Structure 1
């Protein structure tokens, strides 16, 4: 008993360390758009993100099932074996994430967790199968094969979906707003902002209500029954509020969208990724509690009970959120990782840390080919009209490099909007999506949309 109690203490100590190194790497996911567009002071951005993290942590309870039964079948493991797997996973995760943080490279904490659990469970499962005489025919039962394939496929499919959706939404948004944001915001800014805020509310609050520890079943059911009423009222309300603020306070509506988007993406991050840092330790605690109540030897106690639905205590979620916020404010490595992603996704020329490779050149070549092909189907007058909307304003050209943001507010808004929607949707379906892959590929997609626009411009006005 004493040995395993010490192991639980070790697991939670490792969880705190994992929270620190994990947030240091993943902070880039929800900070880069606000930092890159210079929407507000760094302090203001951190305050907004901190509030999102604290609220999002309460939506993470349902995701904890992934660590308990998403990758392997606990019914084939005894308590002593499963604790070895959990300890190996936590140690590996910390070493791997801190290594990437030191290099200033973003990596996926979700992919790390999934494959660490898969690797640990696979080796332990092999030993169990050999010991019990199961042979290879029980492999697909020991490892939760169908669930693991779904999770892994979802993670890597999200890379392509994020890139494509980000490119399409950014291209349409640029056609509507152009680079002359001041004039076009007066026409469409309130409606765009109202639509963006409503979309965020729908996916974060309505779709995420099922996983929250702050909302009971009756309240959740009421939200589900009145979804479209809430959506319509929200769209009208926020469009009017933004328009009034534009007239009265002369605010830039996109700043509201970017700050709210930062809040929502931080909330989506905490809801989806908290399992990556504390899920294994929480699973270890639940395992210990069920074993201690059984009075059986650790080697004889079957862990089938882990497959049952168990709510994660609210205090653990809140305490984890507080640690994440403290890390966000104090850890210098997170800013190093942020600098890497912001520099990669900026829309102007500059010194590049990474050189172009055959994949990026191939994508640009495809964009040029698509642009030339489109010329044969689209009337010349239409092509010229569209291409003019990708011409940068004179003010932008005269802005000094020091004061110039890495990308403008319309692109920052699209980055945040698309990323938070995809992540929140995955959380509502209890799918552990890689927030790093999603936010990074959305940023690359919006950058690629700029390439498409410039290709159109060059083809029409060579």
Structure 2
């Protein structure tokens, strides 16, 4: 029986390879479209920058894995056999679903897919378990409904938040640089580039340090206590750097786009990578506990 379960775990990792292939082909447009559409750099250079961002984001990822482990269901009330059925159903469904959407040219959220696949598989297994169970378990004991609801609400809220802030940033940018924009680059471009670069550093490093496993509590506390100084220093430094690049005839807007591409790729790997490898890793952890 142990050999069979080990083979199932190995098969989950093989499925993860296919899931990663179809998943990245679906999500890659999210962090490549701006750079490619604006022709900020050559296609090869954009891919190199994005690849570095994906690698660093994957190495630093630590927070989203809990969604696959116990964010949707309560694993302590399931047997290893039942968990294996859930994980297999999720992986097979995810590959088929994403492949269908990719073939039809329709975008979909891999996070939404994973959450509802886990929810659906757990619901069916819970029905079977409750029907044959004599210990008095109900859905509240098997499904982590509060956490699942908060994840779903967060997903849909992110759409509205992204729309609002995207509109605001676009309006401000157009106000600053539209209509004879090259003559307005003299001093505004340095400030604009400095603000953009500082915002990227803030969200990637300062806000992201809480999920990094190798960060010590002392370093996290120091960053928290000196956040204001770090932001002011980054803003001043990046503003001077961007102004200098402009003087040297470097297109600062292209630099900002490439920095954004790197940040999006890094955020993708840190957040969405769990959609492809989270379930197999959770299956491995379950097998080790078993």
Same fold (TM over 0.5): yes
Paired residues for 1:176-325 under 5 Å: 176-247=176-247, 249-291=248-290
| Runs of 4+ deviating beyond 4 Å | none
Q: Tell me which residue corresponds to 2:148.
A: 148
Q: Tell me which residue corresponds to 1:397.
A: none
TM-score by length of 1: 0.61
- How far residue 218 of structure 1 moved from its aligned partner, in angstroms, is 3.1
Greater gyration radius? 1
- Structure 1 runs not aligned, ≥5 long: 292-462
Q: Do 2:73 and 2:122's aligned partners in 1 also have CA atoms closer than 8 Å?
A: yes
Residues 90/179 of structure 1: CA separation in 2 closer, same or farther (3 Å cut): farther
Paired residues for 1:445-460 under 5 Å: none
Question: CA-to-partner distance for each residue in 1:201-222, whole Å, 9 max, x for gaps?
Answer: 0111111112224433333332
Distance in 2 of aligned mates of 1:261 and 1:81? 42
- How far residue 187 of structure 1 moved from its aligned partner, in angstroms, is 2.9
Q: Do 1:194 and 1:239's aligned partners in 2 also have CA atoms closer than 8 Å?
A: yes
Q: Do 1:30 and 1:262's aligned partners in 2 also have CA atoms closer than 8 Å?
A: yes
Question: CA-to-partner distance for each residue in 1:296-315, whole Å, 9 max, x for gaps?
Answer: xxxxxxxxxxxxxxxxxxxx
- How far residue 134 of structure 1 moved from its aligned partner, in angstroms, is 6.1
Paired residues for 1:390-409 under 5 Å: none
The alignment's C-alpha RMSD in Å is 1.4
Q: Do 1:193 and 1:253's aligned partners in 2 also have CA atoms closer than 8 Å?
A: yes
Distance in 2 of aligned mates of 1:35 and 1:213? 33
Paired residues for 1:6-405 under 5 Å: 6-133=7-134, 138-247=138-247, 249-291=248-290
TM-score by length of 2: 0.96
Question: CA-to-partner distance for each residue in 1:304-340, whole Å, 9 max, x for gaps?
Answer: xxxxxxxxxxxxxxxxxxxxxxxxxxxxxxxxxxxxx
SS of 1:132's equivalent? Answer: coil
Aligned length: 289
SS of 2:229's equivalent? Answer: helix
Distance in 2 of aligned mates of 1:223 and 1:58? 20
- Structure 2 runs not aligned, ≥5 long: none
SS of 1:62's equivalent? Answer: coil
Question: CA-to-partner distance for each residue in 1:164-188, whole Å, 9 max, x for gaps?
Answer: 2211221122112214331222231
